[in-house]
Amino acid sequence: MQRVILFVLISLLSLYAYAGNNELEYVHRVFQAKYVYKDGADRLDSVFSAVIKRELSKQCPNTVLKQTSDYSSDLWDEALALCPAVAGGDILNVIRQGFAEFDPDIELDEPLKFSGEFGGLGLVLNSKNGKPVIIEILKSSPLYGSELTEGTVIESVDGVKADSSDKAADMLRGKVGAAVTLTDDKGRSYTAKRVPIFDSSVEMNRYEKDILYIRVRKFSENSAEKIREILKAYPNRKGVVLDMSANQGGLITEMFAAEGLFTQRQPVADMVKKTDMTQYKIASAGGIKESVVVYADKMTAAGGAMLVMLMKREGAKVIGSETDKIRPVRTAFTLLSNKPVNTKIVLPIAELYYEDTKISGETVKPDIKADSREQAYEKAAGIFK
């Protein structure tokens, strides 16, 4: 393992300066540079070794590696010398297929990011089975109220195949006022003109009868602070509905900070004890400090489901449907290249525990069932009476 760490230090010095002629070699160096965890480095090195061997067999089927070293960096140097064509191909698909075949727990994550103003259709996307799926249609969308529905799989945009949520999002964005057509996997087409889109990870949905409704789509930078600002603006509330529907997680520190706004939780540094390289233990927060109802649904995943479980264990009521599974703690970094690629590599590094109970892989079942947001909000209002 010493060799990998040495390579890490060397690679970090030239990470941004490197301008190789092929993406596969570049990404390989990024992998080596980013992971100093023993398990993480070993797993990534193993995947890359397998990917290199497979690409070699595809591009130059009669070429045999001497395999004088188990390290993927040495295998790559040898493979490239014997078969220059091994550097070709679609890097994202090469790595995605490699992960799926050799280590399915390592993922490519392609989140849609909102920041500032841009022209678009106001569609929040996520990936499902490698396909771009609409998980929410914003009220500002020109397609809001149309026949287009949440859950629709996007097949193409302006006739160009959309093989990932990242690619679909890029193609849907553009100049305000320009028309764009998306086609779903059923062959149905929807055309609309792009409008200015403003969005963030957190927004106040409504304030009715002294009940504050806060929507949290994702835990990105400053999400907890935005929730704090909303809470501060409505000090006379008698309750909060925290809408976590379709929340896809994000930064674990922001998730803990958000949870701490409603519980007796101490600062982040004191609430998670890392027992070793494979376990994160979360202590009880000591209960909730105000009336909170959490709305979750089957699209509530990852860190979103984790917050729902923590809030439930601290005494908050959960309304909606069963969430997706809570995932292990994962680390991620943007896949850098000389092309604009937003895809991230996601590697699980630790299992989650609440006290001594493992919660990774668990779902959260609601206390009260609701089939829609409006139904959930109505039932939540009844709890605060």
Query: Cα(136)–Cα(139) distance, rounded to whole angstroms?
Result: 9
H/E run at residue 213: strand 211-216
Instruction: Name the token pair of 244.
Output: 């976590």
> For position 265, what pLDDT does the model report?
74
Q: Are 348 and 279 in contact (CB under 8 A)?
A: no
* Residues 154 and 125: beta-carbon distance below 8 Å: yes
- The residue extents of the domains of the chain are 2-104, 117-198, 202-332+347-383
DSSP 3-state of 204 = strand
Instruction: Give the pLDDT of residue 70.
Output: 62
Q: Which fold has domain 202-332+347-383?
A: 2-enoyl-CoA Hydratase; Chain A, domain 1 (3.90.226)
Q: Is 89 left (phi over 0), alpha (psi -120 to 50) or beta?
A: left
Cα(264)–Cα(254) distance, rounded to whole angstroms? 16
| Cα dist from 8 to 11, 130, 204, 281, whole Å | 5, 31, 44, 29
Residues forming beta bridges with residue 364, ordered by sequence position: none
**Do 117-198 and 202-332+347-383 have matching folds?**
no
Residue 199's pLDDT is: 52
> Which pair of structure tokens corresponds to residue 313?
């264990």
Give the strand pairing for 154-157 and 131-137: unpaired
Position 139 scores a pLDDT of: 77
Supply 184's token pair.
């779903």
Rounded Cα distance, 30 and 32, in Å: 5
Per-residue pLDDT 10s for the chain (385 aa) are: 333 332 332 222 222 233 334 555 555 555 554 443 445 556 667 777 788 888 888 888 888 877 666 666 677 778 878 887 776 655 556 666 776 777 666 665 544 343 445 688 888 887 777 788 888 888 778 998 899 998 899 999 999 998 877 788 878 888 888 899 999 999 999 999 988 766 567 888 888 889 999 999 888 878 899 999 999 999 999 999 999 998 878 888 888 889 989 998 765 444 455 554 467 778 888 889 889 999 999 888 778 899 999 999 999 999 999 998 888 777 655 544 444 444 555 666 677 888 888 888 899 999 999 998 889 999 999 998 7
CATH number of 117-198: 2.30.42.10
